Structure 1
Amino acid sequence: MKRSILAAAFPLLLCACSEEVGKPSTTGEPPPNEDTGATLEVPVPAQGRVYVALEKPEIVVPEGDASASTAWDLAFEKYNVFTNSGASGSGEGGAFGPLDAVTYDEGIAPAIPFLTKDEAGGAFRDFWAYDPSVHVLWVRYHVFGVRDADKQWKVQVLGYYAEQQGAPVAAIYRIRWAEVTSAGVGATQTLADLDGTAGGSQAPADVPSECLDLGTGARTKHTPAEALTTKDWHLCFRRASISVNGDLGGPRGVTAVDLHASETKDETLDIVKTRTDDSELARFDAVGHAELSDPKLIWRGDGIFSAFSDYWIDRAAATPAPADASWLVQSASDGVSRYLLVFDRFEGATADGPGKVVLRVKPEGVSTQ
Structure 2
Amino acid sequence: MKPRFLWLAPWLALACASCSDSAGTKDNTGDAGPGGTPDAGHDWSVFSSGTELRVAVPESGRAYVRLDPPAVVQVPGDPKASSDWDIALEQYDVYTNSGASGSAHGSAFGPIDAPSYSAATLPQVPLLFTDKAGGAFVKWYAYDGDAHVLYSRYHVAGIQDGARRWKVQVLGYYGERDGAPVSALYKIRYAELFADHVGDTVEASTLDGTAGGPAADPSKPSECIDLGTGTRTMLTPAAASASNAWHLCFRRDAIGGNGGLGGPRGVTSIDFDDAAIAGEALAQVRVRNADSEKARFDAINWASFEGKTLRGDRVISAFGETWADRNARTPAYAAWVATSAGGEKKYFIGFTSFENATAASPGTVALRIKPFKE
Instruction: Give the TM-score normalised by structure 2.
Output: 0.81
Query: In structure 2, what residue type is equivalent to 1:332?
Result: A
Instruction: Please state if 1:345 is matched with 2:339.
Output: no
Report what 1:262 is aligned to.
275
Out of 91, 95, 114, which is 1:78 matched to?
91
CA deviations on 1:175-209 (whole Å, 9 max, x unpaired) are 11112233232221222232333344467422322
Q: How has the CA–CA distance of structure 1 residues 206 and 188 changed in structure 2, closer, same or farther, with 3 Å as cutoff?
A: same
CA deviations on 1:320-340 (whole Å, 9 max, x unpaired) are 22212222222224622x333
Instruction: Please state if 1:25 is matched with 2:25.
Output: no
Listed as ranges, the matches of 1:1-369 within 5 Å are 4-5=5-6, 21-26=15-20, 36-106=49-119, 108=121, 110-201=123-214, 204-295=217-308, 298-315=309-326, 317=327, 319-333=328-342, 335-336=344-345, 338-364=346-372
1:88, distance to aligned residue in structure 2 (A):
2.0
Question: What is the SS of the residue equivalent to 2:276?
Answer: helix
Q: How has the CA–CA distance of structure 1 residues 169 and 99 changed in structure 2, closer, same or farther, with 3 Å as cutoff?
A: closer
CA deviations on 1:209-235 (whole Å, 9 max, x unpaired) are 221111222222222111111112111
User: Is contact 2:216–2:252 with CA below 8 Å preserved after alignment?
Assistant: no
Q: How has the CA–CA distance of structure 1 residues 206 and 133 changed in structure 2, closer, same or farther, with 3 Å as cutoff?
A: same
Q: How has the CA–CA distance of structure 1 residues 57 and 130 changed in structure 2, closer, same or farther, with 3 Å as cutoff?
A: same
Gaps of 5+ in 2: 9-13, 23-46
CA distance in 1, matches of 2:75, 2:234: 39
CA distance in 2, matches of 1:255, 1:301: 4
Q: How has the CA–CA distance of structure 1 residues 292 and 353 changed in structure 2, closer, same or farther, with 3 Å as cutoff?
A: same
Q: Percent identity?
A: 49
CA distance in 2, matches of 1:321, 1:26: 20
CA RMSD after TM alignment? 2.8
Question: What is the SS of the residue equivalent to 1:291?
Answer: helix
CA distance in 2, matches of 1:244, 1:203: 18
1:52, distance to aligned residue in structure 2 (A):
0.8
CA distance in 2, matches of 1:301, 1:126: 15
Instruction: Give the TM-score normalised by structure 1.
Output: 0.82
Query: In structure 2, what residue type is equivalent to 1:329?
Result: A
Q: How has the CA–CA distance of structure 1 residues 339 and 271 changed in structure 2, closer, same or farther, with 3 Å as cutoff?
A: same
CA distance in 1, matches of 2:49, 2:204: 53
User: Is contact 1:23–1:57 with CA below 8 Å preserved after alignment?
Assistant: no
Question: What is the SS of the residue equivalent to 2:331?
Answer: coil
Q: How has the CA–CA distance of structure 1 residues 40 and 198 changed in structure 2, closer, same or farther, with 3 Å as cutoff?
A: closer
CA distance in 2, matches of 1:351, 1:142: 27
Question: What is the SS of the residue equivalent to 1:284?
Answer: helix
User: Is contact 2:165–2:302 with CA below 8 Å preserved after alignment?
Assistant: no
Report what 1:12 is aligned to.
none
